[in-house]
Amino acid sequence: MGWLRRRFPALLMARRNIGRTKVRSVLAALGIVIGVIAIASLGMFGLTLRYQLTENLGGIGNQVMVQPADSAEAPDALTERDLRQVESAAGSGATVAPAVQRFTTVSYGRGVSETRGVMGIDQPGKLFEARDGSIPQPYRSGALIGPDLADQRDLGPGDTISVNGSTERVVAVLAPSQGFGYTDPSNQIVLPMRSFDGRGYDTITVTETDSTAANATAMAIRAQLNDRRERVTVQDFSGVADQIGQTFQALNLFLIGIGSISLLVAGVSILNVMLMSTVERRQEIGVLRAVGFQKLDVLKIMLSEAVLLGVIGGVAGAAFSIVAGMVINHFVVGDAMLAFRPGNFLYIGLAFAFGVGTSLLSGLYPAWKAANERPVEALRG
């Protein structure tokens, strides 16, 4: 404490002065607390909404779907050469999954049958995960059932279905997707590709690491496969994902702007408190000047009081903001611990800096007024 007193005497005097008017100081700091909570909470709320929407979109922003083009000159199916070109265009971390799709008759039991699309794929583990059972590697027999279809038909591993007159044993029920995409597993029936006649593929799905890589891959595939004529259709939603991200970034700035209004009100409150303190302590300031305190010393003491109020209010506001962030994430995405993502701490730090900065600006005029008080007139009161 002695070291602190020697190094920062103005700070210790400011702390003592704040302690003399506890109620008034607490009320002034309360405005900073509310402002910091408002900015940080609104920023975290916007970030949570963006996270929730990204989760709902699932991997669609990372996926690229390649299909034969809808034109008379286009081939009916994608060839092995097309598959190799797509694989060469994809990034090193991407997965490429060719598949065929056929509409056929499916029977689930006595008298229950329907016509539906059935997917053929040799490596379903690239696109799906298992909820019940496991996906065989290599995949050469059996059927994989989507979770919604399995629940509707009361199917599970070990049950049998009939696909185009051939009996298939269910080896796994697919896990539901976190969002939606080109290959929604909800109502899928997946069989090995050897179960289908014909050659070539109906679709090639590329799953990249992020939307930027997906966009680059889509452009590379178009350049390679459609260089002379339009042979394939390449679909990707990476641009949509990026636009959604930019929209929510703008929304975050708007919400932070609204929260900043509360800090403006808090700044006016601190300005009022500091002005009242300057008037009430004229004689004290006069004594300080009479015993040798310079203008700069008085200025430091008054500014230290304003900054201390901002720091106290900012720390308390940051602590309450973390609690508010946990509540927001609990009710919006169902996981309160997501409040501790690095992006949230960026908003908390920004709100704290705004709070301290507002306090400093609010204390400038009262500090200047006190520092320029003439000692004789100040002692007269």
Over residues 103-116, mean pLDDT? 81
pLDDT score for 316: 92
Over residues 229-257, mean pLDDT? 76
Same domain, 30 and 69: no
pLDDT score for 144: 92
- Between 248 and 174, whose confidence is greater? 174
Same domain, 261 and 274: yes
Percentage of the chain surpassing pLDDT 90?
9
- Residue that is last in its domain, among 221, 237, 253: 237
Same domain, 49 and 96: no
Pairing of strands 203-207, 63-68: antiparallel
pLDDT score for 61: 67
pLDDT score for 241: 65
CA-CA distance, 8 to 343, in Å (whole number)? 34
Same domain, 209 and 74: yes
- Beta strand residue intervals within the chain, DSSP E: 63-68, 95-109, 112-120, 130-133, 143-145, 160-163, 166-174, 189-191, 203-207, 232-236
Which range of residues forms the domain containing residue 348? 4-56+243-380
Same domain, 49 and 158: no
> CA Rg, the chain, in Å?
33
pLDDT at residue 282 greater than cutoff 80: no
- Between 298 and 1, whose confidence is greater? 298
Residue-wise pLDDT for 336-378, tens only, equals 888 888 888 888 888 888 888 888 888 888 888 888 877 777 6
| Mean per-residue pLDDT of the chain | 82
Cβ contact 311:270 at 8 Å: no
- Residue that is last in its domain, among 206, 237, 268: 237
Same domain, 170 and 185: yes
* Listed range (76-80, 86-90, 253-257) with the worst mean pLDDT: 253-257
Q: Which of 372, 83, 50 is nearest to 241 (CA)?
A: 50
Over residues 50-71, mean pLDDT? 75
Same domain, 252 and 359: yes
Count CA atoms within 13 Å of residue 276 on its CB side. 12
pLDDT score for 3: 60
If one counts every other C-beta atom within 10 angstroms of the C-beta of residue 219, the result is 15
Over residues 281-297, mean pLDDT? 80
Number of domains composing the chain: 2
Task: Look at residue 282 and give its three-state secondary structure.
Answer: helix
Residue-wise pLDDT for 179-194, tens only, equals 556 677 888 899 998 8
Same domain, 226 and 320: no
How far CA 208 is from CA of 50, 63, 94, 124, 236, in Å, comes to 20, 6, 5, 16, 11
pLDDT score for 378: 67
pLDDT score for 141: 87
- Which burial class, exposed, middle or buried, applies to 356 when counting CB atoms under 10 A from its CB (0-12, 13-18, 19+)? buried
Same domain, 220 and 150: yes
Same domain, 18 and 93: no
Same domain, 331 and 192: no
Confidence of residue 60 (pLDDT cuts 50, 70, 90): low
- Residue that is last in its domain, among 210, 237, 264: 237
Residue-wise pLDDT for 295-326, tens only, equals 888 888 888 888 888 899 889 989 998 998 89
pLDDT at residue 173 greater than cutoff 90: yes
How far CA 381 is from CA of 13, 16, 38, 50, 282, in Å, comes to 21, 22, 40, 58, 6
Helix (H) or strand (E) holding 55: helix 22-57
Same domain, 93 and 215: yes
* Interior angle at CA 83, CA 199 and CA 212, nearest 5: 145
